[in-house]
Protein backbone atom coordinates (compact mmCIF):
# COMPACT_ATOMS: atom_id res chain seq x y z
CA UNK A 1 0.00 0.00 0.00
CA UNK A 2 1.68 3.22 -1.05
CA UNK A 3 0.98 6.04 1.41
CA UNK A 4 1.61 9.79 1.31
CA UNK A 5 3.51 11.12 4.36
CA UNK A 6 0.50 13.28 5.31
CA UNK A 7 -1.70 10.16 5.49
CA UNK A 8 0.78 7.93 7.31
CA UNK A 9 -0.54 8.41 10.82
CA UNK A 10 -4.18 7.92 9.73
CA UNK A 11 -3.31 4.70 7.94
CA UNK A 12 -1.38 3.27 10.88
CA UNK A 13 -4.11 4.18 13.37
CA UNK A 14 -6.59 2.53 10.98
CA UNK A 15 -4.56 -0.68 10.97
CA UNK A 16 -4.53 -0.66 14.75
CA UNK A 17 -8.28 -0.02 14.94
CA UNK A 18 -8.90 -2.85 12.48
CA UNK A 19 -6.98 -5.31 14.70
CA UNK A 20 -4.48 -6.20 11.98
CA UNK A 21 -2.28 -9.07 13.22
CA UNK A 22 0.89 -7.84 11.61
CA UNK A 23 2.47 -6.12 8.63
CA UNK A 24 5.72 -5.17 6.99
CA UNK A 25 6.70 -1.57 6.53
CA UNK A 26 9.28 -0.21 4.16
CA UNK A 27 10.99 2.95 2.91
CA UNK A 28 10.66 5.69 3.93
CA UNK A 29 8.70 4.77 7.07
CA UNK A 30 10.95 2.33 8.94
CA UNK A 31 11.67 4.79 11.72
CA UNK A 32 8.35 6.71 11.60
CA UNK A 33 6.54 3.54 12.67
CA UNK A 34 8.47 3.22 15.93
CA UNK A 35 6.36 5.64 18.05
CA UNK A 36 3.25 3.66 17.08
CA UNK A 37 4.67 0.44 18.57
CA UNK A 38 3.98 -0.50 22.20
CA UNK A 39 7.39 -2.17 22.31
CA UNK A 40 10.42 -2.10 20.01
CA UNK A 41 12.77 -5.07 20.38
CA UNK A 42 16.44 -4.52 21.16
CA UNK A 43 17.74 -5.29 17.66
CA UNK A 44 15.33 -2.82 16.07
CA UNK A 45 16.34 -0.23 18.68
CA UNK A 46 20.05 -0.74 17.93
CA UNK A 47 19.48 -0.44 14.21
CA UNK A 48 16.95 2.35 14.54
CA UNK A 49 14.46 0.78 12.15
CA UNK A 50 11.35 -1.37 12.28
CA UNK A 51 10.21 -3.28 9.20
CA UNK A 52 7.90 -5.78 10.88
CA UNK A 53 5.04 -5.18 13.28
CA UNK A 54 3.62 -8.13 15.21
CA UNK A 55 0.35 -7.84 17.14
CA UNK A 56 -0.13 -9.82 20.35
CA UNK A 57 -3.04 -9.27 22.74
CA UNK A 58 -3.75 -5.88 21.24
CA UNK A 59 -0.14 -4.68 21.61
CA UNK A 60 2.22 -3.98 18.73
CA UNK A 61 5.84 -5.09 18.82
CA UNK A 62 8.26 -3.53 16.34
CA UNK A 63 10.96 -5.82 14.97
CA UNK A 64 13.50 -5.73 12.17
CA UNK A 65 14.13 -8.66 9.85
CA UNK A 66 16.46 -7.00 7.35
CA UNK A 67 19.61 -8.18 9.21
CA UNK A 68 18.45 -11.81 8.99
CA UNK A 69 17.57 -11.25 5.33
CA UNK A 70 20.96 -9.80 4.52
CA UNK A 71 22.92 -12.48 6.43
CA UNK A 72 21.04 -15.32 4.74
CA UNK A 73 21.32 -13.64 1.37
CA UNK A 74 25.11 -13.38 1.64
CA UNK A 75 25.35 -17.02 2.78
CA UNK A 76 23.25 -18.31 -0.08
CA UNK A 77 24.54 -15.96 -2.78
CA UNK A 78 28.25 -16.60 -2.12
CA UNK A 79 28.45 -20.26 -1.15
CA UNK A 80 31.20 -20.99 1.36
CA UNK A 81 31.86 -17.28 1.98
CA UNK A 82 31.60 -15.88 5.49
CA UNK A 83 31.60 -12.24 6.56
CA UNK A 84 33.85 -13.21 9.46
CA UNK A 85 37.21 -11.47 9.32
CA UNK A 86 36.40 -9.70 6.06
CA UNK A 87 37.21 -6.17 4.96
CA UNK A 88 34.03 -4.64 3.68
CA UNK A 89 33.28 -1.40 1.85
CA UNK A 90 29.68 -0.27 2.24
CA UNK A 91 28.36 2.38 -0.14
CA UNK A 92 25.46 4.39 1.26
CA UNK A 93 24.31 5.32 4.74
CA UNK A 94 20.52 5.28 4.49
CA UNK A 95 17.99 3.05 6.22
CA UNK A 96 19.10 -0.16 4.51
CA UNK A 97 22.76 0.48 5.30
CA UNK A 98 22.11 0.26 9.05
CA UNK A 99 21.05 -3.39 8.95
CA UNK A 100 23.88 -4.25 6.57
CA UNK A 101 26.48 -2.56 8.76
CA UNK A 102 25.17 -4.33 11.85
CA UNK A 103 25.39 -7.77 10.21
CA UNK A 104 28.88 -7.08 8.84
CA UNK A 105 30.13 -6.02 12.26
CA UNK A 106 28.54 -8.87 14.22
CA UNK A 107 30.30 -11.39 11.97
CA UNK A 108 33.38 -11.12 14.15
CA UNK A 109 36.77 -9.67 13.39
CA UNK A 110 35.48 -7.94 10.29
CA UNK A 111 36.31 -4.39 9.29
CA UNK A 112 33.78 -2.02 7.81
CA UNK A 113 34.38 1.18 5.88
CA UNK A 114 31.32 3.26 5.00
CA UNK A 115 31.38 5.69 2.10
CA UNK A 116 28.45 7.97 1.40
CA UNK A 117 27.85 10.93 -0.89
CA UNK A 118 26.84 12.95 2.19
CA UNK A 119 29.64 12.19 4.61
CA UNK A 120 27.75 13.40 7.69
CA UNK A 121 25.27 10.54 7.25
CA UNK A 122 28.10 8.01 7.10
CA UNK A 123 29.49 9.56 10.28
CA UNK A 124 26.10 9.26 11.98
CA UNK A 125 25.89 5.59 11.00
CA UNK A 126 29.35 4.93 12.42
CA UNK A 127 28.38 6.75 15.63
CA UNK A 128 25.36 4.48 15.98
CA UNK A 129 27.51 1.37 15.45
CA UNK A 130 30.11 2.59 17.96
CA UNK A 131 27.33 3.23 20.47
CA UNK A 132 26.26 -0.38 19.95
CA UNK A 133 29.79 -1.44 20.94
CA UNK A 134 31.42 -2.00 17.55
CA UNK A 135 34.87 -0.52 17.07
CA UNK A 136 36.17 -1.90 13.78
CA UNK A 137 34.25 0.57 11.64
CA UNK A 138 35.02 3.93 10.08
CA UNK A 139 33.89 6.17 7.28
CA UNK A 140 35.81 7.65 4.42
CA UNK A 141 35.50 10.55 1.98
CA UNK A 142 33.51 9.95 -1.17
CA UNK A 143 36.44 8.96 -3.33
CA UNK A 144 36.18 6.59 -6.24
CA UNK A 145 39.85 5.67 -6.08
CA UNK A 146 39.28 3.76 -2.86
CA UNK A 147 39.03 0.47 -4.72
CA UNK A 148 42.14 1.00 -6.76
CA UNK A 149 44.65 0.09 -4.10
CA UNK A 150 45.26 -3.61 -4.47
CA UNK A 151 43.40 -6.14 -2.39
CA UNK A 152 41.89 -3.60 -0.03
CA UNK A 153 38.40 -5.11 0.31
CA UNK A 154 36.92 -8.60 0.22
CA UNK A 155 33.38 -7.40 -0.32
CA UNK A 156 31.78 -4.30 -1.82
CA UNK A 157 28.14 -3.63 -0.95
CA UNK A 158 25.93 -1.05 -2.63
CA UNK A 159 23.08 0.06 -0.37
CA UNK A 160 22.44 3.34 -2.21
CA UNK A 161 19.56 3.85 -4.60
CA UNK A 162 22.00 4.50 -7.42
CA UNK A 163 21.30 1.83 -10.02
CA UNK A 164 17.52 1.92 -9.70
CA UNK A 165 17.02 4.33 -12.59
CA UNK A 166 17.63 3.47 -16.25
CA UNK A 167 20.02 6.39 -16.72
CA UNK A 168 22.23 5.49 -13.71
CA UNK A 169 25.83 4.53 -14.32
CA UNK A 170 27.90 2.21 -12.09
CA UNK A 171 28.26 4.01 -8.77
CA UNK A 172 31.93 3.09 -8.57
CA UNK A 173 34.41 1.86 -11.15
CA UNK A 174 35.52 -1.73 -10.70
CA UNK A 175 38.34 -1.74 -13.25
CA UNK A 176 41.70 -2.62 -11.72
CA UNK A 177 40.11 -4.04 -8.59
CA UNK A 178 41.27 -7.20 -6.89
CA UNK A 179 39.56 -10.11 -8.68
CA UNK A 180 38.75 -11.85 -5.42
CA UNK A 181 36.49 -9.01 -4.28
CA UNK A 182 32.80 -9.89 -4.27
CA UNK A 183 30.12 -7.37 -5.19
CA UNK A 184 26.67 -7.27 -3.64
CA UNK A 185 23.95 -4.82 -4.67
CA UNK A 186 20.86 -4.52 -2.47
CA UNK A 187 18.87 -3.45 -5.54
CA UNK A 188 16.93 -6.33 -7.12
CA UNK A 189 14.97 -4.45 -9.77
CA UNK A 190 16.66 -4.19 -12.21
CA UNK A 191 18.27 -7.54 -11.42
CA UNK A 192 21.48 -6.40 -13.14
CA UNK A 193 22.39 -2.89 -12.04
CA UNK A 194 25.18 -1.03 -13.85
CA UNK A 195 27.43 -1.94 -10.90
CA UNK A 196 26.64 -5.66 -11.24
CA UNK A 197 27.13 -5.48 -15.02
CA UNK A 198 30.54 -4.05 -14.40
CA UNK A 199 31.31 -6.74 -11.81
CA UNK A 200 30.36 -9.36 -14.37
CA UNK A 201 32.53 -7.72 -17.02
CA UNK A 202 35.46 -7.69 -14.61
CA UNK A 203 34.97 -11.36 -13.74
CA UNK A 204 33.99 -10.71 -10.11
CA UNK A 205 31.47 -12.79 -8.17
CA UNK A 206 28.31 -10.75 -7.66
CA UNK A 207 24.75 -10.95 -6.35
CA UNK A 208 21.69 -8.73 -6.21
CA UNK A 209 19.35 -8.16 -3.25
CA UNK A 210 16.43 -10.37 -4.32
CA UNK A 211 17.22 -13.10 -1.81
CA UNK A 212 17.55 -10.46 0.94
CA UNK A 213 14.02 -9.34 0.14
CA UNK A 214 12.81 -12.94 0.28
CA UNK A 215 14.64 -13.88 3.50
CA UNK A 216 13.57 -10.79 5.41
CA UNK A 217 10.01 -11.67 4.50
CA UNK A 218 10.61 -15.26 5.68
CA UNK A 219 11.53 -14.12 9.14
CA UNK A 220 8.59 -11.71 9.28
CA UNK A 221 6.29 -14.54 8.21
CA UNK A 222 7.60 -16.78 10.96
CA UNK A 223 7.08 -14.00 13.54
CA UNK A 224 3.45 -13.65 12.47
CA UNK A 225 2.55 -17.29 12.06
CA UNK A 226 5.07 -19.38 13.99
CA UNK A 227 5.75 -21.23 10.73
CA UNK A 228 9.25 -21.14 9.25
CA UNK A 229 9.38 -21.19 5.46
CA UNK A 230 11.82 -23.69 3.92
CA UNK A 231 14.69 -23.34 1.44
CA UNK A 232 12.37 -24.88 -1.16
CA UNK A 233 9.92 -22.04 -0.48
CA UNK A 234 12.79 -19.59 -1.14
CA UNK A 235 13.52 -21.21 -4.49
CA UNK A 236 9.83 -21.34 -5.42
CA UNK A 237 9.33 -17.67 -4.55
CA UNK A 238 12.48 -16.59 -6.45
CA UNK A 239 11.02 -18.07 -9.61
CA UNK A 240 8.18 -15.52 -9.51
CA UNK A 241 10.57 -12.61 -10.00
P1 LIG B 1 17.36 3.25 1.88
O2 LIG B 1 16.45 3.12 3.06
O3 LIG B 1 16.96 2.37 0.72
O4 LIG B 1 18.80 3.07 2.26
P5 LIG B 1 17.61 6.12 1.87
O6 LIG B 1 17.53 6.11 3.35
O7 LIG B 1 16.85 7.16 1.13
O8 LIG B 1 17.15 4.72 1.29
O9 LIG B 1 19.16 6.20 1.46
C10 LIG B 1 19.56 6.30 0.13
C11 LIG B 1 21.08 6.22 0.09
O12 LIG B 1 21.50 6.24 -1.27
C13 LIG B 1 21.79 7.39 0.75
O14 LIG B 1 22.99 6.92 1.31
C15 LIG B 1 22.07 8.33 -0.45
O16 LIG B 1 23.16 9.21 -0.27
P17 LIG B 1 22.94 10.63 0.45
O18 LIG B 1 22.96 10.35 1.92
O19 LIG B 1 24.10 11.45 0.01
O20 LIG B 1 21.64 11.17 -0.04
C21 LIG B 1 22.41 7.32 -1.49
N22 LIG B 1 22.26 7.78 -2.87
C23 LIG B 1 21.12 7.97 -3.53
N24 LIG B 1 21.36 8.33 -4.83
C25 LIG B 1 22.70 8.34 -4.97
C26 LIG B 1 23.58 8.62 -6.07
N27 LIG B 1 23.12 8.94 -7.28
N28 LIG B 1 24.90 8.54 -5.86
C29 LIG B 1 25.38 8.19 -4.64
N30 LIG B 1 24.61 7.92 -3.57
C31 LIG B 1 23.28 7.99 -3.73
* Span 57-104, pLDDT tens digits: 999 999 999 999 999 999 999 999 999 999 999 999 998 999 999 999
Task: Point out the ligand 1 atom lying closest to the alpha carbon of residue 93.
Answer: 14
The preferred substitution site among 90, 161, 165 for testing ligand 1, maximizing ligand atoms within 8 Å of CB, is 161
Cβ 67 vs Cβ 98: under 8 Å: no
Distance CA 37, CA 7 (A): 17
Residue 27: CB within 6 Å of ligand 1? yes
Question: At a CB cut-off of 8 Å and minimum separation 6, what does 232 contact?
Answer: none
Other CB atoms within a 10 A radius of the CB of residue 8 amount to: 16
Given 6, 16, 21, 30, the catalytic residue: 30
Listed in sequence order, the residues at least 6 apart from 160 whose beta carbon sits closer than 8 Å to its beta carbon are 91, 92, 94, 116, 117, 171
First CA to last CA across the chain, in angstroms? 19
In tens, the pLDDT along 159-182 reads: 999 999 999 999 999 987 878 899
CA-nearest of 124, 125, 138, 133 to 99 is 125
> Cα 11–17–23 angle (5° rounding)?
60
**118 Cα–ligand 1 center, Å:** 9
Tell me the whole-structure pTM to 2 decimals: 0.94
Amino acid sequence: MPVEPKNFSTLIKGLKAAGVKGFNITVPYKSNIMPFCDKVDSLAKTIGAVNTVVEKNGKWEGKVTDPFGFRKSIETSFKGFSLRGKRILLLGAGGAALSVAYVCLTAGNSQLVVMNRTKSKAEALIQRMKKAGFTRCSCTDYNHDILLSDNRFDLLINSTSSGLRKEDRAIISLSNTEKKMKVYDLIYNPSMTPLLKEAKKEGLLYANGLSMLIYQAFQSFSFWTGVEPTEKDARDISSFF
